[in-house]
Structure 1
Amino acid sequence: MRRRLFGAIALGCLFVSFAAPVAESDPSRSAPMQFVLRQDAGACGAKCRTWISATGMIRAETARDFEEFARKNNIRGGTIALNSEGGSVHGAIALGRAIRKLGLTTTVGRTVDLPGYSGAGGKIIPANLVARADCESMCAFVLLAGSRRVVPNEARVRVHQIWLGDRRDDAAAATYSAEDLVLVQRDIGKLAQYTVEMGGSVELLEISLRIPPWEPMRSLTRDELRRMSLDTSDATDARSAPADTTSTITPSPSSGGPLKRIALRPAKESDRARGWTMIERSGSSTLTRRHPLTIEGEDLGSLDITFACGTTAGDVMVLYTENRRGSADAQAKPLKSVELRLSGKIVPMALGLSRETETAGERMSAASAVIPVSVLRSFASGSARSITVETASETDEASVIRIGNTGAAQNVPQFLTACAKTDRSEHARLQPAAQ
C-alpha cells in the first residue's frame, strides 16, 4: 500500500518525552542505515502522522537503498528522522541530494517501536519519535538537505574532520601517502560544493574541519544550528543530559615519602616511534607514548603518557606530563585536574610537578595514578581500544584527547614481563623528572 507522509508538520507535537540517555552503543546506529515507515502512536485517529525512520551508518550504497525505498512509498514532502553516527562522504552527499529532490523535512530523532505490533498486512507500525538522538559527522550534512530542518533541544548534532576510515582509530600513529592527501582534499572540495548547493553556511564546514580525530566530536550550539541553517524551525524539547555511569578507579593516597624521578623525554630520536614504545633506561622499564596536545585543532604542545612498573605485581603506575604553550600574551596556567578513561574506567590522577619551561609562555605539568595490571592488559587487547585524557586548567580551559593503542599489543606483554623481573621497590613513588 502506498502511503502519503505529512509534510510541513508541527514536529514539536510529533516528539514524545523520553528521559532515557542516548543509546550510544546501540548496534543499530553502527549497522548500515535502514529506512522504515512509522506512524504516530496514540489516539490520534485520522490525524496520526507518519515519518521515515533513518537509523544507522551511511554507506556508499545508502542513497541507492533510499531511492529504492522511495519508489515503493509515496514519501514526497514527508519527514525523515535521522539517528546516525555518520559514515561515507560520497554516500552522505548522494543521500542528501536524493532527500532534497523529494522535498523532505529533516529532523533528528530516534524511533521507538511499541511492543506487540508487527508490520503484517501492510500496516505502518505505531511508534514514538524520541527527541534524544544523535546526528553525527556526515549525518549533519544529510540533515542540511531538508527543505525544512528541525533539531529538537534534546537532540545533538556533532561534527569533526573527515578522515580516512581505516586510520581513524589511531590517526596520530598512522602513516599517509601523497595519494591519501589528494583523496581527502578532493572530498573536502566535493563537500564544500554540496554545502553551498544545499544553502548551508561555510561555517559548518570550517568548524567540522577544525576537529581532529583524536578530539571528541564538537556539539553544535543552538545558535550555531540556526546560524548554519541546520535548524530552520522553532521546535524545541529540552531535557536534562544523560547521567554518566562509567565506574571510577580511586587513585592511591600519597604517602609523602621520598620520590624517585624518572625522565619521560625520550633520549634518542629513535625513541619517537609512532605508537606505544617500550623503553629501558637506568634499570627502569617503561611503556610510553607522545601525542599532540590540541583544543579544536589548535596546536598547544605535546603530552606524554608513560606506564611504569608498580610497587606490587598487580599494579602499574601511570605518569602524565605535558608541555603546553600559552597564548600570545599570557603564560600557560597550571592544571587543576587530569583524568584518564581507559577500559571503561575513570582514573583521576594526582597532580605533581608544574613549572615554567625555558620556552617563553610554556608550562610543563605532570600527574600520576596507579591502575590494576588487568586494565592495562584490556587496553592492549583489541584494535579499537583507546585512552582518553581530559585536563582542565586554572582558567577552565579543557582539553580532551583520545589516544589509540597502536603498538600496545606487541609491547605490553614485554613490559609486564620486564616488570616481573625488576625489583619493584625501585619504582616506588615514581614521578616525572624536571626536563
Structure 2
Amino acid sequence: MNTPPPPGEARRASWGPFEAIRGLRPVGVIPQVTPIRRLLSDLPTSADPYADAQAALEPLRERILPGARIAVTAGSRGIHDLVPVVKAAVDWLKSVGAEPFVVPAMGSHGGATADGQREMLAGLGITPESVGCPIEATMETVVVGTLDDGTPVHHDALAAKADGVLLVNRIKPHTDFRGPIESGLAKILAIGLGNHAGAASLHAGGIPSLGASIEAAARIVIAQGKILGGLGILENALEHTAAVELVDADGIAGPAENALLQRAGSLLGRLPFDELDVLVVDELGKDKSGAGMDTNVIGRCWVHGIPEFESPSIAAISVHSLSPASHGNASGLGLADVIPARILEQIDLHASYVNALTSGAGGARRSRLPMVMEDDETAVLAAATMCGRRDWSELRLARIKDTLSPNELIVSPALLNEASDRFDLEITGTARDLTSGGRLGPWRE
C-alpha cells in the first residue's frame, strides 16, 4: 500500500514538469533602473476617517432602536482605513444602544467557507478585538426574491435575521465593466452578502449583464426593509481615505451611489505612463484588488479574451509573488504574461478555482497559468522578449510593488528620460540593477 507523501513533498513532486525550464534563459540584458515618484498635490484627504464615519452616521440616529442587533459588513480588500471605519460604525451603533456584530460580505472568497472568511477578515485587521464586537459568519443564505429572468437573489442568513444591516465598502470603478453602479455598496449587498450561492448566481449571467444584475438584486434586498444605509469610502490617488459618506438605503444602486462613483473615478490612482513595454509587479493578491491586480491600473481585463481598457497599453506583465493575505487565492494571475516558478508553491488551487468559477467566464480566464520561468530575472527577460522591442536600450520598463501603489516606480532609462522632463515626476534614487542573484533587488538601497 502506497503512503501519500506529506504536503510539502507532494507539492515539490508536482514540480516535475517544470524541471525542463532549469537553465532556460532568454537572450538579452535588462537595463539598469532608477526609482521615481509621482508628485500629487491638492489631493482630498480625510484627516480622521474614524470621526468622519461617526459624523456621517448621525442621520440614522432616530432609526436605531435600543437593543437592536445590527449587522455591519466587512470584506473588500485593499481599503486603507477599513478597520477604523468599521470600528467607528460599531462604536457609534453601541453609543445609540444597538448591539452590532460584523458579518463577512465576501461572496465566495476564503474558499467559500465561514472559517476561511473569518481568516481573511483577520488578515485585513478585522477581529473582535480590533473592532470591539463579535464576528459572525455563515455561508447559509435565504432567497429573498428573483430577478426578471428567474435568477434567485440570495442574502446572508445572519444578516437576514438581524434587526438591521449597515453596509461598509469602498466605492470605486469596477475591474470588469462600466455602468452607473460598479464596485461599492450595491455590490457588497448583492454579491458580498449573497455569499457563495448569490455571487455564483449573479455572475452566471456573464459580465455584460453583471452591473444590471447587481442593481436589481440590491433593490430586491433593500425592499425587505432592513438595510439602514451604507458608509461609502472614497480613496484618493495615494489610496488614502478622501471622504466617508453615508448613502441612505434609497440611494444605494441609485443616483446617490452613482454620484460617489463619479467622484471616485476622478480620484483613481493610475500609472504615470500610457505605454509600457514591460510592467514588473512585485505582488498580486486579493488584498490588492478583487482581480488580483486592479485592471484600471494595468489596462487589461481579459474578460472576453482581449484587453478591454483603452489605456494604459502594456505589452507584457511579469508578476513575482502572491500576497500572504490572499491565503493562496491566485485569481487574476492570468492577467500576467510570465511568472517565476516559486509562485507555484504559493498557490492554493482550491481557493483560486472556487473564486474563479464563481466569477464566471472572466474569472476563469484570468486564472489561467502564465508562462513559468525559473526565477525573477528570467521572468523579466522573457517579458522583455515578448514586447517586440529590438533595441533594449529603448525598453520602456517599469516596476511597481502592486497595483495599489502605482505612484512609486522603478524605471528603465527610456522612461527616466521622459520623467526628467515632467513636472509631476521626481527621481528619488540612483541607477541600480533590477535583479541580483536571479531575484528582484530591494526597493531601497
TM-score range, shorter chain: under 0.3
Higher RCO (CA-CA < 8 Å; seq separation 6+): 2
The two structures have a TM-score, normalised by structure 1, of 0.26
- More helix by percentage: 2
The two structures have a TM-score, normalised by structure 2, of 0.25
Find the structure with the greater CA-based Rg.
1
